[in-house]
Amino acid sequence: MSEPVLAVENLSIAFASGRTTRRAVHDLSFAVDRGETLAIVGESGCGKSITALSLLGLVPPPGRIDGGRVRLEGRDLAALSEAELRKVRGARIAMIFQEPMTALNPVLTIGEQIMEAILEHERVGRAAARDRAIALLERVHIPDARRRFSDFPHRLSGGMRQRVMIAMALALSPAVLVADEPTTALDVTIQAQILDLMDELKRESGTAVVLITHDLGVVAQHADRVLVMYAGRKVEERATADLFARPLHPYTRGLIAARPRLGSGRFGRQRLVEIPGTVPSLSGRPSGCAFAPRCALAEVACTVAVPPLVAAGGGSVACLRSGDVHVPEHRREALDA
């Protein structure tokens, strides 16, 4: 078997403030293959965004990786110098963000910014870089790319800006694309365009995609595998179809059941299944399973020690009661039908 393009091994990320150190990510491991989309899902504060940044060696201080490692195409990122890391970023692993305006330079035209990315990493002439930038804008389906080349970012709609970000991220044909909530700020019809574009480019180029999102609908339609995080830990990782057909962690099941289902169209309504309480803060995480205080299935053992990840359902789950997690009702109907 070939080595995965990206491998995260026992990664821990800590934030120090004063004399206390709090761990935002605990002992996280996963791998992504060429041409595969792995979705990392979870709610605010689960550690998914800081994990995304760590993949590019961009954990902001006072945060730091205090255990484990990130291997990109076999190379340990921690072993690279800052100069080497800069070369890897963009060229081998690139990232797109929720709000492209925060990542685009407002005083450069979009074409110049893509050219800059190319010129930074490759020994090509300006004319060649310009042609490639225009080709990239065309590849992300920006209409009238030659003219749009000279537009400033603020002239573009949110959807067009995200296309520019994708063009820039793909300029150097990276092996891995990390997308942190890439469509959360977009309208639903534009979101559909951008997600389809990402799928199309992945098929063409074989780029591995790490998709960070809170939206299970996006996951269901665009990811091959899903990693569910809660309070800094992986609680479940499964093939997408398996996860939705039969979630094994009570939190995953809760997330699926808590969303109103479009087109339920049934006579009479039922209450949504609530997950009581809220996500614990970084400072208030309980011992044992962090989900136990909100979990209907929790028993004493769940509060004693963090449940280990065990192989299950073609993937893995960290729950002592996963055998008692039931299929959400509407999924059962879908399976019966």
In the complex, which residues of this chain contact other proteins (CB under 8 A)?
43-44, 157, 159-160, 187-193, 195-196, 214-222, 244, 254-256, 258-265, 267-269, 271-276, 278-279, 294, 330-331, 334
Residue placing its CB nearer to other proteins in the complex, 21 or 157:
157
Tell me how far, at minimum, the Cβ of 183 lies from other proteins, in Å: 9
Residue placing its CB nearer to other proteins in the complex, 268 or 323:
268
Tell me how far, at minimum, the Cβ of 82 lies from other proteins, in Å: 36
Tell me how far, at minimum, the Cβ of 84 lies from other proteins, in Å: 38
Total residue count of the chain as it appears in this document:
337
Q: Which of 91, 90, 74 is nearest to 5 (CA)?
A: 74
In DSSP terms, which residues pair with 205 in a beta bridge?
none
Under 8 Å between Cβ of 86 and 172: no
Tell me how far, at minimum, the Cβ of 120 lies from other proteins, in Å: 30
Residue placing its CB nearer to other proteins in the complex, 217 or 308:
217
Tell me how far, at minimum, the Cβ of 224 lies from other proteins, in Å: 15
Tell me how far, at minimum, the Cβ of 272 lies from other proteins, in Å: 4
Tell me how far, at minimum, the Cβ of 221 lies from other proteins, in Å: 5
Residue placing its CB nearer to other proteins in the complex, 47 or 254:
254
Residue placing its CB nearer to other proteins in the complex, 76 or 187:
187
Residue 175: count other Cβ atoms within 10 Å of its Cβ.
19
Residue placing its CB nearer to other proteins in the complex, 92 or 331:
331
Tell me how far, at minimum, the Cβ of 243 lies from other proteins, in Å: 10
Tell me how far, at minimum, the Cβ of 196 lies from other proteins, in Å: 6
3-state secondary structure the chain: CCCCCEEEEEEEEEEEECCEEEEEEEEEEEEECCCCEEEEECCCCCCHHHHHHHCCCCCCCCEEEEEEEEEECCEEHHHCCHHHHHHHHHHCEEEECCCHHHCCCCCCCHHHHHHHHHHHHCCCCHHHHHHHHHHHHHHCCCCCHHHHCCCCHHHCCHHHHHHHHHHHHHCCCCCEEEEECCCCCCCHHHHHHHHHHHHHHHHHHCCEEEEEECCHHHHHHHCCEEEEEECCEEEEEEEHHHHHHCCCCHHHHHHHHHCCCCCCCCCCCCCCCCCCCCCCCCCCCCCCCCCHHHCCCCCHHHHHCCCCCEEECCEEECCCCHHHCCCCHHHHHHHHC
The Cβ-side half-sphere exposure at 19, using a 13 Å CA radius, reads: 0
Residue placing its CB nearer to other proteins in the complex, 129 or 219:
219
Residue placing its CB nearer to other proteins in the complex, 267 or 300:
267
Residue placing its CB nearer to other proteins in the complex, 2 or 189:
189
